[in-house]
């Protein structure tokens, strides 16, 4: 079974011709993700949902490895992982968001006007985040610090980029979680859908 990973995480905008791919230079991106987790087995009466996390910011660059016919897109930046939890029959919802440093690499492939991309992302938790609770119409937020279990993450990126012009593009997709963050016989893997705006210099 495949799982979604965050977030997060990010792919720069690119402009690659259908017949003659060109390597983009330095770029920046900003956006957000709908993050969540997959729990197996899930507890009875518990629903795990997605949490909107912003911002995702970072830098990117195209590179050409000697002897490798396809250019790569590489980059890194600040992202987030998160999810929310609701309980049946109780007016209570908790949300969790943690901050991560992500580095990634993808292979682009033109498919009509869209540049399909597949690659990997590696993240390191920064030990900071926010916990939010909603109960009886009241919301409480608390900044948290410290390690959150296993503080590294690995995922498979699947997405695409749609160039608006030679410098600006919209990037979208999701990542499949490859690392288990659960404990005591329960598997937990992060997931996320991202949407980013990229600018190439």
Considering the entire predicted model, what is its pTM? 0.84
Confidence (pLDDT) at 15: 34
Please answer whether residues 169 and 160 qualify as being in contact, where contact means their C-beta atoms are separated by less than 8 angstroms: no
**Which residue ranges in the chain fall short of pLDDT 50?**
1-20
For 11-36, the pLDDT digits (tens) are 333 333 334 456 789 999 999 999 99
Confidence (pLDDT) at 70: 85
* E strand map for 6-151: 27-40, 46-49, 51-63, 72-87, 92-111, 114-135, 138-145
CA distance 75 to 79: 12
CATH architecture classification, 4-96+108-200 = Beta Barrel (2.40)
CA distance 177 to 155: 5
């Amino acid at each position: 079974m495949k799982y979604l990973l965050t977030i997060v995480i990010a792919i720069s905008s690119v402009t690659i011709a259908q017949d003659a791919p060109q390597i983009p230079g330095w770029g920046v991106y900003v956006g957000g993700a709908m993050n969540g987790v997959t729990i197996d087995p899930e507890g009875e009466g518990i629903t795990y949902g997605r949490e909107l996390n912003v911002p995702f910011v970072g830098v990117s660059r195209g590179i050409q490895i000697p002897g490798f016919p396809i250019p790569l897109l590489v980059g890194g930046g600040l992202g987030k992982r998160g999810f929310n939890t609701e309980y049946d029959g109780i007016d209570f919802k908790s949300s969790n968001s943690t901050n991560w440093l992500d580095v990634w690499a993808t292979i682009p492939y033109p498919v009509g006007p869209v540049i399909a991309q597949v690659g990997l992302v590696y993240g390191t938790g920064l030990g900071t985040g926010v916990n939010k609770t909603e109960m009886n119409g009241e919301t409480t937020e608390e900044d948290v610090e410290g390690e959150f279990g296993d503080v590294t993450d690995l995922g498979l990126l699947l997405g695409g980029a749609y160039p608006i012009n030679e410098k600006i593009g919209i990037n979208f997709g999701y990542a499949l979680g490859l690392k288990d963050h659960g404990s005591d016989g329960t598997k937990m893997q992060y997931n996320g859908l991202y949407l980013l705006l990229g600018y190439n210099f």
